[in-house]
Amino acid sequence: MLLQQLLNGLVLSGLYLLLSLGLALIFGVLEIPHFAFGAVAVTGGYVGYVLVNLLGLPVWAGIALAVVISAAIGVLLDLLPYRDVNKLPPLNAFIVALGLMTFLNNTLQLLFGPDQVQIKLHGEQLVYLGQLVLTELRVALLLVAIVIMVVTWLILRRTKIGIAVRAVAANREAAALMGIDIRRISAFVFAYTSAIGAVVGIIYGGLYSLIPTRGDNLIFFGFAAIVLAGMGNLMGTIVASVILGVFQAFMIGYVSSAFSTVAVFGLIILLLILKPMGLFGKEVRR
């Protein structure tokens, strides 16, 4: 049971990782608490649902097109609701994010109704690893999470735009003085993270199901991971996501399923008491 629970936990970790990666990028670079990210992910999922289930596109084509559409939605978010929001007091960004979340939830409800939908990704075949078992779709989720993590790392470390993103994250004013186009970087970050969101939404909609307000649940664990890691710390986010997913699965398996969520957040509170800036956050002395 131990290894199977570890695998179950890693699948959850994969989801948390993709969610928290998007959130951490936006917060780390733009200092915007993108609480609507869950709703953006679910919107991407619904785009995938339209393309795959309703229009009958092959799964790979549906996912690819949904990712492109979501990236475009990301650029729109940067241009419209979030434009220059990080120059304003933090509460403004919070209100914008909350409003955007409500707007997306209600728009999806208007378009698709309250009933749940499942995206037909056809990954039900079982993959056995000795005594352990996973479906193809769960294996795909793990692989996609790893691939996106590596690609993100490569973009940030090996590309011009990635270096510019890191420069903005490190010192926005200095980056601007060095000639980096902050608006372009902001649009790129929103496009890239919204594309990741679409992948999360589609896989979630295939593995489980989508309803318009599903993003509210998703964002909860995504933020939990980045708070645990230390807000905006990308590598810490990976570790925190794995801790959250595996700890949750082990709590259910070995202690009690009734208190697993309570235990997860109890753990986070405990760790934050011991390390107030998160596991990998930098200490700030005033």
Q: Given the rule CB under 8 A, which residues bind another protein?
A: 1, 4-5, 8-9, 11-12, 27, 31, 33, 35, 90, 94, 98, 105, 109, 114-118, 124, 126, 128, 133-135, 138, 207-209, 211, 213, 216-217, 219-220, 223, 227, 231-232, 248-249, 252-254, 256-258, 260-261, 272, 276-277, 281, 284
> What is the rounded CA–CA span in Å between residue 97 and residue 100?
5
| Of residues 109 and 159, the one with the C-beta less far from another protein | 109
Q: Which residues contact 189 (CB under 8 A, 6 or more apart)?
A: 25, 26, 29, 30, 78, 165
| Of residues 195 and 214, the one with the C-beta less far from another protein | 214
CA angle 21, 29, 234 (to 5 degrees): 35
Q: How far is the CB of 174 from another protein (least distance, A)?
A: 18
Q: How far apart are the first and last CA of the chain?
A: 48
Q: How far is the CB of 158 from another protein (least distance, A)?
A: 28
Asked whether the beta carbons of 279 and 239 are under 8 A apart, the reply is yes
Asked whether the beta carbons of 87 and 96 are under 8 A apart, the reply is no
Q: How far is the CB of 270 from another protein (least distance, A)?
A: 15
Q: How far is the CB of 57 from another protein (least distance, A)?
A: 21
| Of residues 151 and 259, the one with the C-beta less far from another protein | 259
> What is the rounded CA–CA span in Å between residue 236 and residue 257?
27
Name 130's bridge partners.
Answer: none
| Of residues 178 and 266, the one with the C-beta less far from another protein | 266
> What is the rounded CA–CA span in Å between residue 35 and residue 23?
8
Q: How far is the CB of 84 from another protein (least distance, A)?
A: 17
| Of residues 88 and 154, the one with the C-beta less far from another protein | 88
- The secondary structure of residue 232, as a DSSP letter, is T
| Of residues 84 and 115, the one with the C-beta less far from another protein | 115
Q: How far is the CB of 164 from another protein (least distance, A)?
A: 22
Q: How far is the CB of 79 from another protein (least distance, A)?
A: 23
| Of residues 150 and 254, the one with the C-beta less far from another protein | 254
How many CA atoms lie less than 13 Å away from 4 in the CB half-sphere? 12
Q: Which residues contact 163 (CB under 8 A, 6 or more apart)?
A: 156, 157
